[in-house]
A and B are shown apart, each in its own frame.
Chain A
């Protein structure tokens, strides 16, 4: 791909994921400082701060870039804050990348961090009878796992997936995350243990649904020229950021909606479906295809959803993800490892940090710094994710 369209990943930093209930700024700050140290830059050299917002931590969370900038010490850097639910991190990366590619700045800091309440995600406070996110809880009792479970059941019906398959995804990801110092859960589990955990939303059990976590992730991004001037001769570069929205008619029920689009006026025109279109746009922008990937990080909000993603990013045909899993293709050491970090299964979800964390993992993999979970010889990686209300999120990195 044209060098003019690449930005360098100069610094990577994370605060470990966990559940401490401390101020989210603390996690973001730790991640930002780690990314700056990794880049060998001082805070004063950062020209642009791109924040991924959290909506459960009051006003500072809505203006996250300024919050982090103030915490690092006002420096006069320009800022922008993005919210796109689970895709917030990709939006923040996209905003920083656009500034760099437009030549408006040379080097930017991207930060996302969250502190989450226990249990199911509930809508943010207040009675809002015109907000579908509030209404789906009130009128249906439809939690996030409700939607994950509808997809899982659908996979069973269409492709013959079994509860054993879903449990095997969790077993694989738990194994991947065992030695990841940033993962919250670092314990091996067996399929029997997964299948013995309490049912939450049939057919999904407690150990198959991602937890809500605290955590923080940060990246220092720069122009390739800036990276080279700072001695980074072969940096990991970002080749694509896909933040696409769905195409009408969206015929798969999506959080937080009550209904799909109606397809009566669509003239049977086929489009690939939302998750698939997110990856397609990323591949197109990067000028590569799924056959070029060495590693992928996908959004395993549930064990079953990882199987959907494997197909949606083109690792196999529809209905073949269970076979790939059973053959060990998606395990570290296999043909195309998926979620070598351990994924959400080991991290839980810290919403605004999560898409950034996916890119952190890919960058470590491409640098060969992923220790026991290293995918040997990884040169090209893709991260994929999806935010509530129609936010695509996919990033391609290469070295």
Chain B
């Protein structure tokens, strides 16, 4: 018999759940500067005295600024699957917020499937689990290939060859 584990955020207050999950950031009421994770004390903009912030959902889509992978198991407090499975990490540019946000890329995507400038969408996925819970975190899912897709369609690999992707 299998039991369904409760799914809980790996960290409170950093992202919303539901059908269209989003990162929760802040926006300064004085100058409009966004922050992630959200700012609660003083605005990061040195010429702004703002201390009041709106909690806002950040854009769910952005474009890859750069990417890499983790070929070796990161040390604790990362909770790695056993056996360890390598994963990709992307830094993603959000146009409206004019900022770059990092995140893991969904399982099954390799660096060969990614290219700078690719459009990605935020999803929630399991980061790790224990006996009672699955802990959720945000991840980036490529939209360039098949929408649902991992592993991605060949179209993405072809694009990789056109640019400056070196020997990858």
**B16 part of interface (Cβ distance < 8 Å):** no
**B157 part of interface (Cβ distance < 8 Å):** no
Q: A129-B11, A153-B67 are in contact. Are A263 and B77 (CB under 8 A)?
A: no
Tell me, in angstroms, the Cα distance from A161 to B111 when the chains sit together: 17
**B35 part of interface (Cβ distance < 8 Å):** yes
Tell me, in angstroms, the Cα distance from A136 to B102 when the chains sit together: 10
Q: A139-180: which residues lie under 8 A (CB-CB) from chain B?
A: 139-143, 146, 149-154, 156-164
A260 with B100: CB separation less than 8 A: yes
Contact residues in B for A151 (Cβ distance below 8 Å): 66
Q: B104-152: which residues lie under 8 A (CB-CB) from chain A?
A: 104, 111, 116, 127, 137
A262 with B99: CB separation less than 8 A: yes
**B70 part of interface (Cβ distance < 8 Å):** yes
Contact residues in B for A261 (Cβ distance below 8 Å): 33, 35, 44, 99
* 0/1 string, B18-51, CB within 8 A of A gives 1: 0000000000100111111100000011101000
**B161 part of interface (Cβ distance < 8 Å):** no
Contact of B75 among A122, A129, A152, A202 (CB under 8 A): A122
A263 with B10: CB separation less than 8 A: no
**B158 part of interface (Cβ distance < 8 Å):** no
Q: A135-B11, A139-B127 are in contact. Are A161 and B166 (CB under 8 A)?
A: yes
Contact of A140 among B35, B48, B102 (CB under 8 A): B102
Contact residues in A for B36 (Cβ distance below 8 Å): 258-259
In this complex, what residue of B is CB-closest to A128? B77
A141 with B116: CB separation less than 8 A: no
A123 with B32: CB separation less than 8 A: no
Contact residues in B for A103 (Cβ distance below 8 Å): none
Q: A141-B87, A259-B36, A265-B32 are in contact. Are A157 and B100 (CB under 8 A)?
A: no
Contact residues in A for B102 (Cβ distance below 8 Å): 136, 140, 142, 253, 257-259
Q: Which of A122, A150, A158, A257 has the most CB of B within 10 A?
A: A150
Tell me, in angstroms, the Cα distance from A355 to B96 when the chains sit together: 39
Contact residues in B for A248 (Cβ distance below 8 Å): 44-46
B164 with A139: CB separation less than 8 A: no
Tell me, in angstroms, the Cα distance from A175 to B84 when the chains sit together: 36
Contact residues in B for A258 (Cβ distance below 8 Å): 36-37, 101-102
Contact of B68 among A122, A135, A149 (CB under 8 A): A149
Q: A140-B102, A141-B80 are in contact. Are A202 and B164 (CB under 8 A)?
A: no
A262 with B33: CB separation less than 8 A: yes
Q: A138-B10, A264-B32, A264-B98 are in contact. Are A160 and B164 (CB under 8 A)?
A: yes
**B4 part of interface (Cβ distance < 8 Å):** no
**A200 part of interface (Cβ distance < 8 Å):** yes
In this complex, what residue of B is CB-closest to A250? B44
Contact of B101 among A159, A199, A259 (CB under 8 A): A259
A200 with B72: CB separation less than 8 A: yes
A residues sitting closer than 8 Å to B (CB atoms) are 119-120, 122-123, 127, 129, 134-143, 146, 149-154, 156-164, 195, 198-204, 248-249, 251-253, 257-266
Give 27 A-B contacts (CB < 8 Å), ordered by A residue: A122-B76, A122-B77, A129-B11, A137-B77, A137-B78, A139-B10, A140-B103, A149-B68, A151-B66, A153-B66, A156-B166, A160-B164, A161-B166, A162-B164, A200-B72, A202-B68, A203-B68, A251-B98, A251-B100, A253-B100, A257-B102, A258-B101, A259-B100, A259-B102, A262-B97, A262-B99, A264-B97
Given contacts A146-B70, A202-B111, A259-B37, 16 further A-B contacts (CB under 8 A): A136-B102, A140-B104, A146-B68, A151-B66, A154-B66, A164-B166, A164-B167, A200-B71, A201-B71, A202-B68, A203-B168, A248-B45, A249-B44, A259-B102, A261-B35, A262-B34
Q: Which 4 A-B pairs have the closest CB atoms?
A: A149-B68, A262-B34, A122-B75, A141-B74
